[in-house]
Copies of this chain bind each other. A is one copy, B any other.
């Protein structure tokens, strides 16, 4: 599987490029603590529907290194996405991003309206967080730094706010642990700090871009339920779909429901009907 070298920063960005080069490209961007493995189900289903699928890993996550940067702002992650799309000569696409992945997609789409037809925000939003949304990461960073990424995965599964649905089934929690523990401590720390640097005007610029936006959010993910509703007020054209009985890790918990909603949206964007 290939890597894109982003030379000045010594970053080797891992990506996968599936399907035909002349098919419509979907770009998948994972959440903090995720990586390409998290999209396993979506990749196989979307490929059957004739899409080209490009999935990559953000800095410090699984096979992509941190490079020389020990910290980064959201804009740096959006620039990495831009470098990948330029490298692959992708001129138009739809971006599907989970959590930080959707934020990266929002920033990129707002800055490159000619390149992005559609944006799917999965438990994500272009709106800045409130301070209290990010305060849980004082603790998660301390656990990662002092006790390691496995201890953090265990802690997360026990913290009831974000994981009460995920922790219900062992196959979900095992899958989560397998994916999450491939994240480097440095990648986790840098990415959670980067969440402070979401541009203030990202939502306004995204609306102005004319990009079609779908937000999918788990009913039990309180922060993103609030942010998604606030985003919907600012961008009434945005479709908002709430998946009941799911929390932040809706991709793992409700793949079928998510897939159906996704295909409905993609059908409207590029005229592909669900097969």
Interface residues, chain A, CB within 8 Å of chain B? 8-9, 66, 68-73, 75-76, 130-131, 134, 137-138, 141-142, 145-146, 185-186, 189-190, 193-194, 196-197, 199-201
Contact = CB atoms under 8 A, between A and B. Distances in A.
Contact of A70 (B131, B134, B146, B186): B186
A164 B88 CA distance: 43
Contacts of A185: 68
Contact of A138 (B73, B130, B131, B142): B73
Contact of A71 (B70, B134, B142): B70
A251 to B, nearest CB: 26
A55 to B, nearest CB: 25
**Which of A73, A146, A186, A199 gathers the greatest number of chain B CB atoms within 10 Å?**
A73
A9 to B, nearest CB: 6
Nearest to A9: B145
B71 A189 contact: yes
7 contacts: A8-B142, A9-B145, A66-B70, A70-B190, A71-B193, A71-B194, A134-B197
Nearest to A7: B146
A146 B193 contact: no
A9 B138 CA distance: 13
Contacts of A146: 8-9, 68
A142 to B, nearest CB: 7
Contacts of A69: 141, 145, 189
B131 A199 contact: yes
**Which of A71, A131, A197 gathers the greatest number of chain B CB atoms within 10 Å?**
A71
Contacts of A8: 142, 145-146
Q: When A and B form their complex, which 3 residue pairs have the shortest distance between CB atoms, in order from nearest?
A: A71-B71, A70-B70, A196-B196
Contacts of A201: 131
Contacts of A66: 70
A68 B73 CA distance: 19
Contacts of A72: 71, 189, 193
A142 B138 CA distance: 27
A72 to B, nearest CB: 7
Given A71-B71, A73-B134, A131-B199, 15 more contacts: A8-B145, A66-B70, A68-B146, A70-B186, A71-B72, A71-B189, A71-B193, A71-B194, A72-B189, A73-B193, A75-B138, A76-B138, A130-B200, A193-B194, A196-B197
Contact of A193 (B131, B134, B138, B197): B197
Contacts of A196: 73, 196-197
Nearest to A8: B146
Contacts of A200: 130-131
